[in-house]
Amino acid sequence: MDLLTVATAGSVDDGKSTLIGRLLLEADAVADDQLAAAAEVSRRRGDDVTDLSLFTDGLRAEREQAITIDVAHRYFGTAQRRFILADTPGHAEYTRNMVTGASRADVGLVLVDVRHGLTEQSRTHLAMLALLRVPHLVIALNKMDLVDWSRAIVREMHGELTAYSRKLAAAGLAPAAPTVIPVSALTGDNVTSPSARTPWYVGPTLLSHLEGLVVPDRASGPLRLPIQLTLRPRRGDPNSAREYAGQLASGALAVGDQVVVLPRGHSTTITGVAVPGRAVSEAGSPQSVSVTLADDLDVTRGDLIVHPDDLPTVTQDLRARIAWLHSEPLRPGVRVLVKHTTRAVKAIVREVSDRLDISTLARIESPDALRCNDIGMVSIRLAEPLIVDPYAVNRHTGGFILIREDSGETLGAGMVSA
């Protein structure tokens, strides 16, 4: 079955964790002891019903504060497909965690409390999902039970969301077309079963919509195999050869393929392919593989194996859209590490050319800095060349993170511009 990765987002108290808890409960993915523990915690709090958010709010600090801090991953399956649900933080202070959870997601699921509409944080999450080019976007209009299942409010919200998506597209952030579903995570209406309280809604339930989404086929893209590890020939085995291992970021390869090893540009042929535990004739993304080559080349960690007819760019200068996630501002002259696929290289920020105002989606030219949760265009000079694609073409070889060199702390997420 296909695997679908869903990243949830939304403002504080919009009901993300409760919705995921509802999905897990109705998909029989909650163990009896978990259910009993959540019921006991809810009873001690004085809640009338079991707090379903406790199935995902795993940190003690989260349970005490009733907010989500970390990214909680949960796994479940139906007859149609398997799911990874990433419950990402809603508070502005933890937007960096939301970016982490959404960076590899197939679907962005944004919850909006229909009583409050689009908040500034909801707009930030929508902008971040558009920036990250998450392929699918679902808007769950939650807490419909608190607005008497109003069709008029849903129409109003649908119009507001559509208008904001158009503004995001005009700003160059390429949002996915939103699918809007009115739900109540508390009561379960339109989550896994159609609701009799919304006879005017003829669309799918949340779960059936997620079951039917088409996952982008990473194996159909250009071959990109970042080398993570070199495996030496087994001692005493004359048939053993040096292997080069990594996870296919995109594309597929097969025995007999002509390939190029970058950045040096050596051409060779694949003579063997293996996945964990066995040899195969071919493999595709996102599989982890090891390959043997016809020629004895100097291939090291951070090199990239590609097909000769679809080459990426080898460069020491990056122009990229940055989501800045740290409390200290990003200014020209700041030195960072750029972590890209399996490499980390030193770099210096040369220019901050613009900043995107999330509220108005206007571009502010030549700002003095990017501050926490800002999005802006930045030019970076690398100490060594990296092998990149535009993020719009390949999310995996077009994305990177900025790291503080002395502590390893994550500072921001970057997307290579064309």
The mean predicted confidence, pLDDT, of the chain is 86
CB contact at 8 A, 70 and 62: yes
The CA-based angle 123-124-129, given to 5 degrees, is 100
- The count of C-alpha atoms lying within 13 angstroms of the C-alpha of 49, restricted to the half-sphere facing its C-beta, is 7
For residue range 115-141, what is the model confidence (pLDDT) as tens digits? 998 888 888 888 888 888 999 999 999
Kindly report the CATH number assigned to the domain that includes residue 126: 3.40.50.300
Region 341-357: what's the mean pLDDT? Answer: 94
The pairs formed by 262-265 with CB atoms below 8 angstroms and a separation of 24 or more are 262/303, 262/304, 262/305, 262/306, 262/311, 262/312, 262/314, 262/387, 263/303, 263/304, 263/314, 263/385, 263/387, 264/297, 264/298, 264/303
Poorest-confidence range of 42-46, 91-95, 127-131, 241-245? Answer: 91-95
CA atoms of 151 and 198, how far apart (whole Å): 8
CB contact at 8 A, 12 and 88: no
Q: What CA–CA distances, in Å, run from 44 to 33, 51, 239?
A: 17, 11, 65
Q: 104 pLDDT band (50/70/90 cuts)?
A: confident
Residue 10 is predicted with a pLDDT of 78
Q: Which residues pair with 352 in a beta bridge?
A: 378
Q: Phi first, then psi: what are they for 58, rounded to 5°?
A: -85, -25
CA atoms of 98 and 90, how far apart (whole Å): 8
Region 220-235: what's the mean pLDDT? Answer: 89
What lies within 8 Å, CB to CB, of 116 at 6+ separation is 11
**Of 165, 191, 216, which closes a domain?**
216
Q: How many domains does the chain have?
A: 3
Residue 65 is predicted with a pLDDT of 44
Helices (H), 242-378: none
Region 370-374: what's the mean pLDDT? Answer: 87
Cβ neighbours, 10 Å, residue 349: 20
**Per DSSP, which regions of 183-284 are E strands?**
225-226, 229-231, 243-247, 252-254, 258-262, 266-275, 278-280, 282-284
Q: 251 pLDDT band (50/70/90 cuts)?
A: very high
What lies within 8 Å, CB to CB, of 343 at 6+ separation is 226, 301, 302, 386
Helices (H), 138-205: 151-170
Same domain, 248 and 212: no
For residue range 169-217, what is the model confidence (pLDDT) as tens digits? 888 888 888 999 999 988 899 999 999 999 999 999 999 999 999 987 8
Region 379-396: what's the mean pLDDT? Answer: 94
Same domain, 258 and 165: no
Coil, strand or helix at 49 = coil
CB contact at 8 A, 68 and 74: no
Same domain, 65 and 169: yes
CA atoms of 306 and 341, how far apart (whole Å): 14
Same domain, 317 and 404: yes
- Top pLDDT among 48 and 267 is at 267
Same domain, 302 and 323: no
Same domain, 297 and 346: no
* Residue 131, token pair as written in the block: 């920036």
Residue 350 is predicted with a pLDDT of 97
**Of 279, 306, 333, which closes a domain?**
306
Q: What CA–CA distances, in Å, run from 69 to 72, 87, 186, 325, 357?
A: 9, 9, 21, 15, 25
Region 403-408: what's the mean pLDDT? Answer: 89
Same domain, 52 and 184: yes
Q: 63 pLDDT band (50/70/90 cuts)?
A: very low
Q: 68 pLDDT band (50/70/90 cuts)?
A: very low
For residue range 8-18, what is the model confidence (pLDDT) as tens digits? 887 777 777 78
Same domain, 277 and 332: no
Q: 383 pLDDT band (50/70/90 cuts)?
A: very high
Q: 67 pLDDT band (50/70/90 cuts)?
A: very low
DSSP codes of every residue in 225-238: EE--EEEPPPTT-T
Q: 36 pLDDT band (50/70/90 cuts)?
A: confident
Residue 71 is predicted with a pLDDT of 54
Same domain, 201 and 262: no
pLDDT for residue 98 is more than 90:
no
Residue 416 is predicted with a pLDDT of 95
CA atoms of 238 and 220, how far apart (whole Å): 36
**Of 216, 243, 259, which closes a domain?**
216
Same domain, 34 and 133: yes
CB contact at 8 A, 85 and 106: no
Same domain, 157 and 71: yes
DSSP codes of every residue in 52-70: GGGGT--SHHHHHHTS--S
Same domain, 148 and 10: yes
Residue 69 is predicted with a pLDDT of 37
* Residue 301, token pair as written in the block: 């960690």
Kindly report the CATH number assigned to the domain that includes residue 375: 2.40.30.10
Q: Which domain holds residue 331?
A: 313-416
pLDDT for residue 320 is more than 90:
yes
Residue 62 is predicted with a pLDDT of 41
